[in-house]
Structure 1
Amino acid sequence: MNTHARHLGPGRRTLLRGAALGAAVPLLPATASAEGRAPARGRSSAPVSYRWLGTSGWRIDLRQKKQRNRTVLVDPYVTRFDTGLFSGSFDPGTRLRTDEALVREHAGTPEVICVTHTHWDHLNDVPHLARSTGARVIGTETTYHVLRSFGVDAGRISVVKGGEVLDFDGYVIEVASSRHSRGGSYSYFAPGTLHAPPAAAPRTVADLPEGDTLAFKVTPDGAPSALFMGASDFDERSFRGLEPDIAMVAVASSASTHRYVPRLLDALGRPGVVVPVHWDDFERPLSLPPRKDGTGLDDFLAQARAVSPDARYVVPDYRTVYGADLRPLRQRPERARGA
């Protein structure tokens, strides 16, 4: 496991748990933690903000002294086109497309993009972002080959498998092997991996295989760590020892995975803040409020609270900008673009 993260974990986790219980404990500055330890790696504090992009997508903005603002994205699916999935008439032949102006508005100019897996509701907008911004993309071998088929520079793609701890001079990204959600039939959409670029760039949602699934733990210097999941299953042995302060946890779409919620929270060391994701109808535009897609948000919260009653639970929305401890900072203004 990441010894750096292990050293820092207890202080921040104690702090976040205190906030969950209603104690008047502010997020500590970089000069000390709840147990008096120095901040991450001895560097100055990095103010952090989070914006939920829907599904399992997040925008992480870091402002560091004497440096430009820096942005990290996880699974940035912003275009949100209709496949019929939520109306009961799913069409796997739905063409892929990207609304470049909308992506630019929500995603900004990232320096790193983390991709948990290669299904369209996670990868669709990544090829455009990678080509237009030069961002480094971190993902599986399948993600690599798909991006190459879209003309993304091979030198800007980092292939990982799980277990990597990557230092970006201001924040650390730790990669964990994970698993994809399974439906009631114990299977999932478009399984498979790629070991070479496809003959042609994918054109439809069915052309994008899962390609193995990852999770990412992001630890900005001087701030709590956050785990990002892209699907509602996990590798229990790979998750043990991650111990994030904040966990963005995918809500299960079925009961196929045995004791998913209690096993997950126990494996993660019962994070102080739990944020359910991938519960929204991800074919509605981000200009509308999130709508539950029927995959069990309420049931997830009930199970999680039974297992970890001391945690603070944050059900995110698209317009709120959250701080380093996942408390709201402000509301983003309404956009002129309509529903």
Structure 2
Amino acid sequence: MPNLDRRRFLRDAAASTALVTAGGLASTALAAPARAAGPAGAAAPAAATTRRVGRVSFRWWGTAGWRIDIGDRTVLVDPFLSRIDTGLFAGAFNPSTSLQVRADVVDARVDRAETVLVTHTHWDHFMDVPHIAGRTGARVFGTLTAYHLGLAYGVPSGQLSAVKGGEVLDFGDYTVEVVASLHSRNASYSVAFPGVRVDPPAKPATIADLPEGDTLNYVLRVAGGPSVFFMGASDFAARNLAGIAPDVAMVALNSTNVTADYVPRLMAALDHPKVVVPVHFDNFETELRNPPTVAPSDRKQLDQLIAAVRESSPRSRVLVPAYDTAYHF
């Protein structure tokens, strides 16, 4: 979750799929982004026809949320579709806002899921997850806090898997590596709603009842396909990323500058991914329709992130995603 001192959002046309140009964001449509060349002498990436699992698509659902379809199997990351109004983007944030899952909105997009990966348990990452687990029977992976919150919502323990970081989980057509990570901090160097749940609490009622609960990253590796790194918050432990070297990195926007050298350190730790996809830059309290609404302050931070990627990892391409658009890496 970003820091809380946000200004009023304006509607800002973000390119549905855009590459970085010398002038900032180009509006070049890119239904199936080509993969950038790797380091000199490196082997060319495998062609899509060599994949053993059929077509793989990635759809951004705003915030840090993703739907990944691997053949007829579906993985979700931080699915938050209800996008309730907490006053955060109007400068009148209300931590007592009631948790209200918009089942009609969620169900319209979530027809199936077998795996849900939760980076942390703030409402804009976790709130819809128990409903999705109940609807689809998906197994939910997350911190011990996510496990206990799931129990509080009535999710069966058999659908909840607590992970810490270091696990490499084999699902046949794909693997998931769990990476212990850090949550971003606001301008006061604090984390919103800090804390963990070491046993099941009462069923959460307000957004303040969903604490950060520690933070994880995930690396999804598709058999014969891409390896993709997912962030849910804009900080990380560089030592935990050694050797991951993903093809694609979904990078959370740093809405403050309190984390030193955020982008250069991250690009180096990830061994300069071929494709960098900014996430968590949108107003996640508006409808999920294109173009995403972006606050002036976050537009500035997004431009700075893109510039920092270009400077520190010039062979990486930057793809600014549109909502619900299928990308094939």
Asked if 1:102 corresponds to 2:102, the answer is no
| Greater alpha carbon shift after TM alignment, 98-107 vs 120-129 | 98-107
- Residue number among 44, 48, 51 corresponding to 1:29 in the alignment: 48
- Residue number among 58, 61, 86 corresponding to 2:66 in the alignment: 58
**1:320 is matched with which residue?**
325
State the one-letter code of the partner of 1:256: V
Structure 2 CA distance for aligned equivalents of residues 45 and 108 of structure 1: 20
**2:10 is matched with which residue?**
none
**1:17 is matched with which residue?**
36
- Residue number among 177, 180, 196 corresponding to 2:180 in the alignment: 177
Alpha-carbon shift at residue 16 of structure 1 (Å): 2.8
Q: Deviations over 1:143-191 (max 9, x none)?
A: 0011100000001111000000000111000000110011111112100
- Residue number among 76, 80, 91 corresponding to 2:94 in the alignment: 91
How many residues in Structure 1 have an aligned counterpart in Structure 2?
290
Q: CA RMSD in A?
A: 1.8
**2:23 is matched with which residue?**
none
- Residue number among 300, 305, 310 corresponding to 1:305 in the alignment: 310
8 Å CA contact 1:74–1:113 kept in 2: the answer is yes
- Structure 1 residue ranges, 4+ long, deviating more than 2 angstroms after superposition: none
**1:330 is matched with which residue?**
none
TM-score normalised by the chain length of structure 1:
0.82
Q: Deviations over 1:172-229 (max 9, x none)?
A: 000001100111111121000110011x111101111100000010011110110100
Write out aligned runs for 1:108-147 (5 A). 108-147=111-150
Q: SS of 1:97's equivalent? A: coil
8 Å CA contact 2:290–2:322 kept in 1: the answer is no
Alpha-carbon shift at residue 320 of structure 1 (Å): 1.6
8 Å CA contact 1:29–1:45 kept in 2: the answer is no
Structure 1 CA distance for aligned equivalents of residues 110 and 188 of structure 2: 35
- Residue number among 77, 81, 85 corresponding to 1:74 in the alignment: 77
Structure 2 CA distance for aligned equivalents of residues 29 and 181 of structure 1: 36
Asked if 1:233 corresponds to 2:241, the answer is no
Alpha-carbon shift at residue 252 of structure 1 (Å): 0.2
State the one-letter code of the partner of 1:90: F
Q: Give ranges in structure 1 of 5+ residues lacking alignment.
A: 1-14, 32-38, 64-68, 326-339
TM-score normalised by the chain length of structure 2:
0.85
Q: SS of 2:36's equivalent? A: helix
Q: SS of 1:217's equivalent? A: strand
State the one-letter code of the partner of 1:171: Y
Q: Deviations over 1:254-288 (max 9, x none)?
A: 11111000000100000000000000000011034
Alpha-carbon shift at residue 93 of structure 1 (Å): 0.3
> CA separation of 1:185/1:74 partners in 2, compared to 1, >3 Å: closer, same or farther?
same
Q: Percent identity?
A: 51
Could you say which structure has the greater relative contact order, defined with CA pairs below 8 angstroms and 6 or more residues apart? Answer: 2
Q: Give ranges in structure 2 of 5+ residues lacking alignment.
A: 1-33
Asked if 1:277 corresponds to 2:285, the answer is no
**1:334 is matched with which residue?**
none
8 Å CA contact 1:20–1:311 kept in 2: the answer is no
Alpha-carbon shift at residue 289 of structure 1 (Å): 2.2
> CA separation of 1:91/1:20 partners in 2, compared to 1, >3 Å: closer, same or farther?
farther
Structure 1 CA distance for aligned equivalents of residues 235 and 175 of structure 2: 23
State the one-letter code of the partner of 2:70: L
**1:265 is matched with which residue?**
267
State the one-letter code of the partner of 1:285: E
